[in-house]
Amino acid sequence: MSQAAAMLVGRHDFRAFGRAPQGDNTIRELVRLEVCRAGDSIMITAEADAFLRRMVRMLTGALIDVGRGKKPAGDLWEALRTGVQEPVSAAAPAKGLTLEAVAYDRQRLGRGLGLWWSCEPLAAAGAKP
């Protein structure tokens, strides 16, 4: 899961992992995507310049599928490349998802520079970080 998460960090078109507001683009910069073990659970932390609708839940669901061996890590990179996630991973449930902080660049009003989401430890039985 950690290797798959590392492949997704950077500026990419994340259309395979969420939807943009009408008329907006789907290119985002994922600054950090970390997977950590918390006892018997897994914690995922994401930081980006902005997130698409459902992006954090879709990324989390895809990483859990990798951890459970349901899809290879390379499928996530292929989804970035093509814009299509095949097979599509289910979005992780919203329960346990917490927006921890929002930071703005004062010189570029309205553009979020840091958004931190974390998933409280997930009961991802069988997933390996």
Q: How many domains does the chain have?
A: 1
Please report the pLDDT score of residue 27 as a whole number. 94
Q: Half-sphere exposure of residue 67, counting CA atoms within 13 Å on the CB side?
A: 24
Instruction: Give the C-alpha separation, 120 to 43, whole Å.
Output: 6
DSSP string, the chain: -HHHHHHH-EEEE-GGG-BPPTT---EEEEEEEEEEEETTEEEEEEEES---BTHHHHHHHHHHHHHTTSS-THHHHHHHHHS--SSPPPPPPSTTEEEEEEEE-TTSTT-EEEEEEEEEEE--TT---
**Residue 7, in any domain of the structure:** yes
CATH of the domain at 18: 3.30.70.660
Domain that residue 55 falls in: 2-122
Please report the pLDDT score of residue 42 as a whole number. 83
Instruction: Give the C-alpha separation, 42 to 119, whole Å.
Output: 8
pTM of the model: 0.78
Q: What is the mean pLDDT of each run of 10 residues along the chain (129 residues)?
A: 94 93 87 86 86 92 93 93 86 82 60 50 51
Please report the pLDDT score of residue 49 as a whole number. 87
**Residue 108, in any domain of the structure:** yes
Please report the pLDDT score of residue 120 as a whole number. 52
Please report the pLDDT score of residue 22 as a whole number. 78
**Residue 129, in any domain of the structure:** no
